[in-house]
Structure 1
Amino acid sequence: MITTEQNEKLRGWFAGRLPDDLFEELTEVTADREEITVIGRIAAPRLAEDAPAAERRAAVDARIQEFRDRTRDTRMAVARDAEHRFRHKVSWGVVCDGERALFTHVAAPVMTRLRQPERQVLDTLIAAGVARSRSEALAWCVRLVQRHSDDWLTELRESLEHVQRVRSQGPDAASDPTGPAESSGDAPDRG
């Protein structure tokens, strides 16, 4: 779990490291054990206010693709520095005219043991065409819980941060290995 302070430091590092003209605004920097995700707002395409929805969607998709192509080298250079410094993969995304798009992101495998009633839930989602596999069905379930329990998850994260702050003041505080660490190793490019 990344603490609020660690996340603020990450956000500050990216705010200082990113070129001023890359995003209109750096909207989100989040991290977990595997990945740092950086999302910024880019300018919406100029369209008539009464533009049809299909035209607006096509224009937004094209703007996002143009941004992705044009900024790839810059984003890869920043990702290289961040991966070297924090030993986490860096993923990128944008928000354009209210649409959020992720360019790259880590799909980390998660191992779990499920009893028959839980497996039957996943198999029902597959049979109904909601998912193609148990893995996809489980991811769908996690997204559903996330969508409907944001307040609860936020409160839980805040409680965990409090526990980590208390632990950091204890006798073993100097040997706490949690959080992004600096490293001298090289990391592969991601863009």
Structure 2
Amino acid sequence: MITQQQIEQWLTGRLGDWFEEFEVVTDREEITVMGRLSDDGLTDENARAGRIARFREQTREERIGIARELERATGRKVAWGVRCGPDERVFTRLSVPVMTRLKQDDRRVLDTLVQAGVARSRSEALAWCVRLVGQHEADWLGELRDAMQSVAAVREQGPKL
């Protein structure tokens, strides 16, 4: 299985000078490549939006080729996004169905969000709840992810015989 570090190293070679810096976020289904474009002091939101649109159009074919190679190597879909100044835009994003079994109390929470117009469906309400937890517990989730990476590294080493 290819590691996050290997993906980042491979992309470093493939992306050239597109970005000032980039980060890779992975899960079991998807790899998201987020790159920072130079804003050259662009203070206007429309100017930054234009820079993002130009990048998207000019790199489309090459990004598709890189994504196909990475998808073959990892078995995961690839999403692309950029940041320019304070603006962020994700071009593609995989939507993955998640099967859940919820108790009535939990379903009532989702139904309340739908009835109140916060969400259009239970699925959207659940996504809203997940985003809310992610925003308010970001530090804790980060620590948890770091701990899981440590466990994965130890597991990869295996026992010393």
Deviation at 1:156? 1.3
Within the candidate set 92, 111, 136, 2:124 is matched to 136
Within the candidate set 1, 16, 19, 2:16 is matched to 19
Matches within 5 A, 1:151-170: 151-170=139-158
4+ residue runs over 4 A deviation: none
The superposition leaves residues 48-89 of structure 1 with CA deviations (integer Å, 9 ceiling, x where unpaired) of: x6xxxxxx2222222211211111011111111111212211
Deviation at 1:42? 1.0
Within the candidate set 3, 9, 19, 1:6 is matched to 3
Q: Which residue of 1 aligns with 2:32?
A: 37
Q: TM-score, normalised by structure 1?
A: 0.76
Deviation at 1:46? 5.5
Question: Which deviates more from structure 2 when the two are superposed, residues 91-100 or residues 59-68?
Answer: 59-68
Q: TM-score, normalised by structure 2?
A: 0.89
Letter in 1 for 2:34: I
- CA distance in 2 between counterparts of 1:17 and 1:10 reads 10
Letter in 2 for 1:15: T
Contact between 1:45 and 1:60, CA under 8 Å: does it hold in 2? no
Contact between 1:29 and 1:37, CA under 8 Å: does it hold in 2? yes
Indicate the percent of aligned positions where both proteins have the same amino acid.
52
Cα RMSD of the aligned pairs, angstroms, is: 2.0
Greater relative contact order structure (CA < 8 Å, 6+ sep): 1
List gaps (5 residues or longer) in structure 1: 50-55, 172-191
Within the candidate set 111, 114, 124, 1:126 is matched to 114
Q: Which residue of 2 aligns with 1:101?
A: 89
Letter in 2 for 1:142: V
Question: Which deviates more from structure 2 when the two are superposed, residues 75-84 or residues 158-167?
Answer: 158-167
Q: Which residue of 2 aligns with 1:72?
A: 60
Letter in 2 for 1:12: Q
Letter in 2 for 1:24: E
Report SS of the residue matched to 1:39: strand
